[in-house]
């Protein structure tokens, strides 16, 4: 018996020991926000149920954190300098190539296709495929794992942007006049004529919505599963090709030439947020995967990091950026001219500083930067083709087979598509705070102050004014008692005025509407027989 007890105690001790300090950070990740406060709850039963549920959440988060080491065995990439002299941003791609294994070094490459350049790129959500669109009409789908071009087509007209739809089986290209959707064999499936000449495309994966901004600053949302136009919004803020989807809440962010950034959802014609971010035109925009951080670049040579919960600047960095992108692990890549800079927040406090630099051949103009999901790779589309460089520590090392599987088979892809369609979200679920879904609408905090309160406040201010009146001694009959009284009344009336005006506005003190009050006090039981007077 005692032996059993001893082993039990030992077990308990072990489980306690297994929760080290750094687990707290991991647990926090899975908790999805703090626990609710039940102190004000009066319903004891409900309180008990909710606190039980809260404890279940805590336990599951703890379990998820604890089993991380078995579920997520792969370690992320890193780049560390030896000693204080060596700096990570001085390390060249050639140096990295020498250190890493062959399969990784294959991810460093340049594809030179000057006749169709510049190129824009897009990756599928699992990073398996890349779509490249040359401005002069070249569209290519590349299998990134085997480095094989899957399909190449020439459309023979300007291509401004390309995006994959739900997976590699479809992609959309914004061409000279219309947007076209192609199948994976490069066969045109649809032509979206009602969107006009589109400058930039984005795909909202959970909603199956293709968002596009055209030459006239019109934002369109096309449901690609049903083929219906969900939203057609005139932004009224001019032509722009700076568009990015916030992956956290599927809100579309637009950067405008006036320096404002606006955020949109398909179901409202007014922007959710309109913020002045720069004094010059906004040249690039990117969202952190956790949705709380936004990076904007302005033509006035500033890159700003914004906290999207408070809509405040966190950090302002000097420099131009033609294009910005956040990686899965939160690295920020900025590209301008032929120079790529990667920033990182080493301390985890959202304080970004230099991590890596990369200079391309002089004369190459970078048009597009994009991190490849689940890999430590940054794709660069530029004026001479496209390139790919290694940025250690940028990608998520552990993938989830049910979310995005880099080793997806054909069958799995089909299954996945069905599940994506089953879980397709209605456009109404796009909102700034997506965690609000399924919660109770909180009561309005500030109730209108009652008539009594307003009157009390008015009296208090009048009293204060009366006490504060301090007549100056003036000469030549201006300090006569009658004058003094008049002055005094004037001051009081002035103090009263704002309150009375407010009341007039609220309609409480309408002079015209005089109530003919001849209400006879009836007992409660007879009140329902009282004749109701028509409002005059």
Q: Which residues of this chain interact with other proteins, rule CB under 8 A?
A: 29-30, 32, 64, 71-72, 74-82, 86, 91, 95-96, 99-101, 103-104, 107, 145, 206, 247-250, 289-291, 328, 374-376, 390, 392, 395-407, 409, 412, 422-426, 429, 434-435, 437-438, 524-525
**Cβ-contact 294, 253 below 8 angstroms:** yes
Residue 87 or 451: which CB sits closer to other proteins? 87
Report the alpha-carbon distance of residue 190 to residue 183 in Å, rounded.
9
Residue 281 or 392: which CB sits closer to other proteins? 392
The distance in angstroms from the start CA to the end CA of the chain is 89
Residue 302 or 358: which CB sits closer to other proteins? 358
In angstroms, give the least distance from the CB of 491 to other proteins: 53
In angstroms, give the least distance from the CB of 416 to other proteins: 12
In angstroms, give the least distance from the CB of 190 to other proteins: 25
In angstroms, give the least distance from the CB of 230 to other proteins: 16
Residue 59 or 71: which CB sits closer to other proteins? 71
Task: Dig out the tokens for 516 from the structure.
Answer: 């003919």
DSSP 355-388: EEEEE--TT--EEEEEEETTTTEEEEEETTEEEE
Residue 6 or 71: which CB sits closer to other proteins? 71
Residue 79 or 199: which CB sits closer to other proteins? 79
In angstroms, give the least distance from the CB of 492 to other proteins: 48
CB neighbourhood size of 23 (10 A): 14
Beta strands in 246-352 (DSSP E): 252-255, 260-264, 273-276, 282-287, 293-298, 302-307, 312-318, 323-326, 332-336, 339-344
CB neighbourhood size of 233 (10 A): 21
30 burial via Cβ count (<10 Å: 0-12, 13-18, 19+):
middle
Report the alpha-carbon distance of residue 533 to residue 450 in Å, rounded.
25
In angstroms, give the least distance from the CB of 207 to other proteins: 9
Report the alpha-carbon distance of residue 419 to residue 441 in Å, rounded.
30
In angstroms, give the least distance from the CB of 412 to other proteins: 7
Q: What angle do CA 366, 368, 373 make, to 5 degrees?
A: 130
Residue 99 or 152: which CB sits closer to other proteins? 99
Handedness of CA 303, 309, 312, 314 (dihedral sign): negative
Report the alpha-carbon distance of residue 392 to residue 358 in Å, rounded.
13
Residue 107 or 244: which CB sits closer to other proteins? 107
Residue 100 or 275: which CB sits closer to other proteins? 100
Residue where the block lists tokens 């007039």 = 504
Residue 3 or 148: which CB sits closer to other proteins? 148
Q: What angle do CA 193, 198, 201 make, to 5 degrees?
A: 110
In angstroms, give the least distance from the CB of 246 to other proteins: 9
In angstroms, give the least distance from the CB of 145 to other proteins: 8
In angstroms, give the least distance from the CB of 65 to other proteins: 9
DSSP single-letter state for residue 436: G
Report the alpha-carbon distance of residue 388 to residue 110 in Å, rounded.
6
């Amino acid at each position: 018996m005692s032996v059993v007890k001893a082993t039990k105690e030992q077990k308990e001790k072990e489980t306690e020991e297994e929760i080290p300090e750094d687990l707290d950070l991991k647990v926090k990740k899975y908790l999805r926000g703090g626990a609710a406060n039940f102190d004000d709850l009066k319903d004891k039963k409900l309180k008990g149920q909710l606190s039980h549920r809260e404890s279940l959440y805590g336990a599951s988060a703890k379990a998820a954190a604890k089993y991380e080491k078995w579920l997520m065995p792969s370690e992320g990439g890193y780049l560390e300098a030896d000693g204080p002299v060596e700096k990570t941003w001085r390390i060249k791609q050639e140096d990295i190539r020498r250190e890493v294994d062959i399969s990784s070094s294959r991810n460093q490459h340049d594809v030179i296709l000057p006749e169709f350049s510049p190129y824009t790129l897009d990756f599928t959500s699992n990073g398996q495929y890349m779509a490249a669109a040359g401005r002069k009409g070249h569209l290519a789908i590349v299998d990134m794992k085997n480095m094989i071009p899957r399909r190449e087509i020439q459309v023979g007209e300007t291509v401004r942007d390309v995006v994959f739809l739900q997976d590699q089986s479809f992609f959309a290209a914004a061409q000279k006049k219309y947007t076209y959707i192609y199948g994976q064999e490069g066969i045109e499936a649809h032509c979206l004529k009602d969107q006009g000449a589109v400058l930039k495309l984005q795909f909202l994966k959970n909603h199956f919505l293709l968002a596009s901004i055209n030459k006239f600053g019109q934002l369109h949302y096309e449901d690609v599963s049903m083929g219906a136009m969900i939203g057609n919004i005139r932004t009224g803020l001019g032509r722009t090709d700076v568009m990015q989807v916030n992956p956290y809440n599927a809100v579309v962010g637009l950067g405008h030439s006036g320096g404002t950034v606006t955020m949109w959802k398909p179901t409202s014609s007014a922007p959710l947020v309109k913020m002045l971010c720069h004094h010059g035109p906004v040249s690039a925009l990117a969202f952190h995967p956790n949705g709380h951080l936004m990076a904007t670049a302005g033509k006035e040579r500033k890159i700003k990091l914004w906290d999207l919960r408070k809509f405040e600047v966190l950090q302002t960095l000097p420099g131009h950026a033609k294009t910005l992108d956040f990686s899965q692990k939160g690295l920020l890549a900025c590209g301008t001219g032929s120079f790529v800079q990667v920033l990182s927040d080493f301390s985890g406090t959202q304080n970004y500083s230099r991590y890596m630099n990369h200079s391309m051949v002089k004369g190459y103009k970078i048009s597009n930067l994009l991190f490849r999901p689940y890999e430590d790779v940054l794709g660069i589309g530029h004026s001479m083709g496209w390139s790919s460089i290694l940025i250690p520590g940028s990608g998520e090392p552990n993938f989830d087979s049910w979310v995005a599987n880099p080793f997806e088979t054909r069958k799995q892809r089909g299954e996945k598509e069905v599940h994506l369609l089953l879980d397709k979200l209605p456009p109404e679920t796009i909102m700034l705070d997506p965690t609000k879904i399924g919660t109770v609408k909180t009561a309005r905090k500030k109730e209108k102050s009652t008539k009594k309160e307003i009157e009390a406040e008015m009296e208090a201010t009048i009293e204060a004014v009366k006490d504060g009146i301090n007549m100056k001694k003036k000469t030549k009959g201006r300090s006569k008692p009658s004058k003094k009284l008049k002055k005094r009344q004037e001051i009081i009336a002035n103090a009263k005025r704002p309150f009375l005006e407010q009341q007039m506005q609220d309609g409480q003190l309408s002079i015209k509407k005089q109530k003919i009050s001849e209400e006879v006090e009836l007992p409660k039981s007879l009140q329902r027989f009282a004749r109701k007077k028509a409002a005059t």
